[in-house]
Amino acid sequence: MDDDALPLIEICDELIRTRQHIGPKHLAEPGPDDATLDALFCAAAAAPDHHQLRPWRFLVLGEAARQRLSEVFVEALRQRDPQALPDQLEDARVKAFRGPVLILAIVDLRTDDPEVPAFERVFSLGCAVQNLMLAARARGFGSGLSSGRALHTALMRETFGLVEGEQAVCFISLGTPRRSRPVRQRPAVAEFVQRI
């Protein structure tokens, strides 16, 4: 191995090892500005992408979009639980406003290229998301993923213009961690790798 490569390997390993989920309510200002977000999306674009389909897209949700999202969250809760109390509905509403930056990740599952099945497209999105989060970590930002049943509602699709064949997969929250915590224990390699 080239000795010049060692510092890069150490940085890469450290970024991957120390990345951890930080929930949206534990992320504060400052969040990444527009130029930094562009750099994070450039990292996302380096994900594996069979046939260069770019089977994913991201929506950065500004204030108006978050307001619409809060209504989606409230309506999704009402559909699941018609007896939801006002404080439960309010809890659902405020989730849309947690964290300085909120991004919606969308996968394109259309069958326009049968050589690239749905699972490869989802895998590509996962790689894009991981690249984005590692690039954020390298710049000192925390990140977290969140999902929920609201992602699968007709109102979510309508509100954010998802076309037939697209699916909202998760939210990515970005910001400055309010607190630090120990990096969780990762599984030992022998627990999930077999050499056959």
* Residue 9, in any domain of the structure: no
CATH code of the domain containing 62: 3.40.109.10
User: Residue 122: its pLDDT value, please?
Assistant: 94
The answer to whether residue 192 is domain-embedded is: no
**Structural domain containing residue 88:** 22-179
pLDDT of residue 1: 61
How many domains, the chain? 1
Q: Give the pLDDT of residue 128.
A: 98
Decide if 107 is inside a domain. Answer: yes
**pLDDT tens track for 19-78:** 999 999 999 999 999 999 999 999 999 999 888 888 999 999 999 999 999 999 999 999
Span 146-175, pLDDT tens digits: 999 999 999 999 999 999 999 999 999 999
Reply yes or no on whether the pLDDT at 138 is more than 90: yes
* 6 in a structural domain: no
Query: Does residue 13 sit within a domain?
Result: no
Whether 10 is covered by a domain: the verdict is: no
Of residues 77, 69, 56, the one with CA closest to residue 149: 77
Instruction: With respect to residue 166, please indicate whether it lies within any of the assigned structural domains.
Output: yes
Mean pLDDT of the chain: 93
